[in-house]
Structure 1
Amino acid sequence: MASVHPNGKSAFSQPLSRGQKLRLWFRKYFLEGQHLEDEAEKNLANLPENPTLHDLIFIKYRKFVAGLIPFLLIHTFWWSTAIRHNFFRWYPDYWHMPVTMVLGSFVGGMTSEGAGAVAFPVLTLVLHVAPPIARDFAIMIQSIGMTSALTCIVFMQVKIEHRAVLLGTSGAVPGFVLGVHFIDPLMTGPQKKMLFVAIWTAFAFALAILNSHKKRTTFKEIPEFCFWKGLVLFVTGLIGGIFDSFAGSGIDVSIFSVITLLFRVSEKTATPTTVVLKGINAVFGFYYRAVMMGDISEVAWKYFAVTIPVASFFAPLGAFIGSHFHRQVVAAFIYILELATLIGFLCNGPSWQLLVIGSAIIVFGYVFFHALSRAGGVLLQSIQRRGKQDVF
């Protein structure tokens, strides 16, 4: 049989069979491969023929070990606690939350949207749970799921933008505190639902803008980093932290949009970066709501207790699988999720005032993200004129 080249033609220019075309398509979109830290790529390329136990754990089989670490650790503590306090009695009443978070945790680990992007709309739009309870549960469960995915990403040594994590978190922490005390109380439940749907729909447009450039130049990390770029990350984190304060999610999509559209960082770096960012900020949000404010409802605690085993498994699984997918596949998951959220919001019969304001936010978001993309193009041209070579 003639060998097949990546360009879709055989070595002797024979037409490909349907099966060969299908295999090429599958490899392109679902087996693209991971982008690793430079040191990890070097170690993997130089793996000895007779690897040591250290080589096997941290290099050859790091992908599988990465998922086992959070799974075993969290399940050990959860099962011992669940048996001691009989968490199992709550499943007949709250079984729908673990079922929901199978998808939520998987999507959260795989995409730039945290698990809260599923938890919040399902709780508020489908189950009609009060937004503060939905917000708290989203933060609580992401402190398990997203930190599990974080552990998986760090152990696998998948490439992330460390400065975006550090500066984004520096802004998100005061943003969350400001938002939860002064901004969240000003909004009604329907307004919070509307803002969530409008902001995330606008993000879907941002992703569509990003993916409309089929062969654009991208970078492994933010190129020519300087003070003003750090300030942009801090301010973006501040805004994202405010979003987190009423919806339990937002810092992740905010940072993702800026570093991909403006700074032209590859989604293969940006997506795991936002997972790590969300995991860190979910832990802080959980701590602040549970310890410093101490008013998390009993229902949210029960939702959290019955969902931990699911989140600790499916979030790392999503991070592992998503790190191999093509960006278009990951984007497709987000498009479907946002469309379902928008339909759910409309089916709840919002007032015409909310529809008008929400539509205005979506339009403004589209214009803003389009302008951000154009600004990113100008920056890219400036970098290319100076001969920047560290691109994908």
Structure 2
Amino acid sequence: MSRRSLSKMWPFGLWLLVFYCIWLGLVVWGDEWESIRAHWGIALAMALGSYVAGSTPMGGGTVGFPVLVLLFDMPGSLGRNFGLAVQSIGMVSAGVYILAARRPIDWGLLKPAMLGSLIGMPLGATVIAPYVPDLWVKLTFAVVWCSFGIMHLIKLRELVETEGVSDLWRDWDRWIGLAVGLTGGIVASLTGVGIDMLIYATLVLLYRADLKIAIPTSVVIMAFTSVVGIGWNVFLSRLNPSFYYMDPEVYANWLAAAPVVALGAPFGALIVNLISRTPTLLAVSMLCILQFVWTIVQEGVTGMALAASIAAVLAVNGLFHLLYQCGNDRPILEDLHLEVPTAEVPMEWADAED
């Protein structure tokens, strides 16, 4: 990296300085050293989780959620809130790095998705999440990421070879982004992740976007949604502590993992531009499928619940296939009586780093 490139990274350096000063102040002021030592396991797990968060379209909660709720047998609500809390540091850190390094971002889709998330996340956290049984929170997480893993295994070669981005649906950015943000915000209000996967899938399947565009865009939307989500959940827990309960373990786990993810996520964002994405995406896709099996076995899911979970995986993959076909076939637009763009619409990307 040249001296000129390094000089552009001062916002990232400033962010790290501010964060570590605040984190150290919290630890010293609250005498939290023993708590950090007691929660070293989640910090270790998030070393991997933060790398995954920065180098793939999956938030750190993708690792944090199953570790807490499947390995440590914690409730799904704790996994969700921890995922949002830790991503509010890790994904924000990766996002600041991405913006400072001027990685390409699809702002045309991202801006309306952020607006949708600003509506969907608080809405889901307030009126949906409290009423969803813990098992269904776990199954929702398992279904979403299993579907994502299967999609990647099927389309991996094509995804990693794609360059640039299609303008076929560019006139519909506002409505597509708003729908993705609203839907993804509600999903994230249940599981702590999901909106990053939805915007990524939309970009790579419908817009045929290069992974160099799709992954940074997914990181930024997850960072934004995580901050909105954990902020809103803390507000709700203060407003009505008995109904919108937030386990104190969320803060204890966050305190142990935050200093790890603050560096781990941007490290993943850096490394992914230096090595092939194929091995990382292949390994993570397999883990997504395995965690589905793990959830089904550990929770003893049988009968109608098992059938519904498998049907949901098939349905989500059916949606992915529809997105792919819409991105591939101009006649589909004509069949739906939609206007087909004929001229290129300039993209609002950050300048890519040389």
CA-CA distance at 1:342 after TM superposition: 2.1
- Partner residue, 2:232: 288
Match of 1:362 among 306, 313, 323: 313
- Partner residue, 2:86: 141
1:270-290 residue CA offsets vs partner (Å, 9 max, x unmatched): 001111111111111111111
CA-CA distance at 1:186 after TM superposition: 2.9
Task: Answer whether contact 1:209 1:370 (CA < 8 A) is retained.
Answer: no
CA-CA distance at 1:223 after TM superposition: 5.6
Task: Answer whether contact 2:187 2:194 (CA < 8 A) is retained.
Answer: yes
Which 5+ residue runs of structure 2 have no aligned equivalent? 239-244, 334-338, 348-354
Q: Is structure 2 residue 63 aligned with structure 1 residue 118?
A: yes
Task: Answer whether contact 1:101 1:118 (CA < 8 A) is retained.
Answer: yes
Q: Is structure 2 residue 213 aligned with structure 1 residue 263?
A: no
Give the secondary structure class of the aligned counterpart of 1:351. Answer: coil
Superposition pairs of residues 220-299 of structure 1, within 5 angstroms: 220=165, 225-226=170-171, 228-294=172-238, 295-299=245-249
Match of 1:378 among 317, 321, 329: 329
Greater shift, 115-124 or 322-331, is seen at: 322-331
Task: Answer whether contact 2:121 2:228 (CA < 8 A) is retained.
Answer: no
- Partner residue, 2:293: 343
The higher radius of gyration belongs to 1
Q: Distance in 2 between matches of 1:64 and 1:375?
A: 39
Match of 1:154 among 99, 103, 110: 99
Q: Distance in 2 between matches of 1:335 and 1:260?
A: 16
Q: Distance in 2 between matches of 1:304 and 1:377?
A: 43
Task: Answer whether contact 1:148 1:316 (CA < 8 A) is retained.
Answer: yes
CA-CA distance at 1:308 after TM superposition: 1.3
Give the secondary structure class of the aligned counterpart of 1:204. Answer: helix
- Partner residue, 1:15: none
1:152-201 residue CA offsets vs partner (Å, 9 max, x unmatched): 10111111111222111111121112211222233211111111111111
1:267-312 residue CA offsets vs partner (Å, 9 max, x unmatched): 1100011111111111111111112443422111111112111111
Q: Distance in 1 between matches of 2:160 and 2:123?
A: 40
Q: Distance in 1 between matches of 2:49 and 2:38?
A: 19
Q: TM-score, normalised by structure 1?
A: 0.78
CA-CA distance at 1:127 after TM superposition: 0.9
Q: Percent identity?
A: 24
**One-letter amino acid matched to 1:372:** L
Q: Distance in 2 between matches of 1:81 and 1:320?
A: 29
1:323-356 residue CA offsets vs partner (Å, 9 max, x unmatched): 3333323422321331331232133042213221
Give the secondary structure class of the aligned counterpart of 1:129. Answer: coil
**One-letter amino acid matched to 1:374:** Q
- Partner residue, 1:9: none
Give the secondary structure class of the aligned counterpart of 1:213. Answer: helix
Task: Answer whether contact 1:268 1:327 (CA < 8 A) is retained.
Answer: no
Task: Answer whether contact 1:194 1:345 (CA < 8 A) is retained.
Answer: yes
**One-letter amino acid matched to 1:255:** I
Shift in CA distance, 125/84, structure 1 to aligned 2, threshold 3 Å: same
Shift in CA distance, 368/212, structure 1 to aligned 2, threshold 3 Å: farther
Task: Answer whether contact 1:87 1:306 (CA < 8 A) is retained.
Answer: no
| Residue correspondences, number | 335
Task: Answer whether contact 1:243 1:250 (CA < 8 A) is retained.
Answer: yes
Task: Answer whether contact 2:150 2:289 (CA < 8 A) is retained.
Answer: no
Q: Distance in 1 between matches of 2:277 and 2:323?
A: 20
Task: Answer whether contact 1:160 1:269 (CA < 8 A) is retained.
Answer: yes
Match of 1:334 among 271, 274, 284: 284
CA-CA distance at 1:129 after TM superposition: 0.6
Shift in CA distance, 379/314, structure 1 to aligned 2, threshold 3 Å: farther
Q: Supply the RMSD in Å over aligned alpha carbons.
A: 2.8
Give the secondary structure class of the aligned counterpart of 1:158. Answer: coil
CA-CA distance at 1:365 after TM superposition: 1.6
Q: Distance in 2 between matches of 1:90 and 1:133?
A: 17
Task: Answer whether contact 1:160 1:273 (CA < 8 A) is retained.
Answer: yes
**One-letter amino acid matched to 1:286:** I
Q: Distance in 1 between matches of 2:37 and 2:342?
A: 63
Match of 2:270 among 320, 330, 339: 320
Q: Distance in 2 between matches of 1:232 and 1:385?
A: 15
CA-CA distance at 1:135 after TM superposition: 0.7
Greater shift, 209-218 or 369-378, is seen at: 209-218
Shift in CA distance, 358/291, structure 1 to aligned 2, threshold 3 Å: same
CA-CA distance at 1:73 after TM superposition: 2.6
CA-CA distance at 1:389 after TM superposition: 11
Shift in CA distance, 222/100, structure 1 to aligned 2, threshold 3 Å: farther
Shift in CA distance, 249/135, structure 1 to aligned 2, threshold 3 Å: same
Give the secondary structure class of the aligned counterpart of 1:265. Answer: coil
Q: Is structure 2 residue 52 aligned with structure 1 residue 101?
A: no
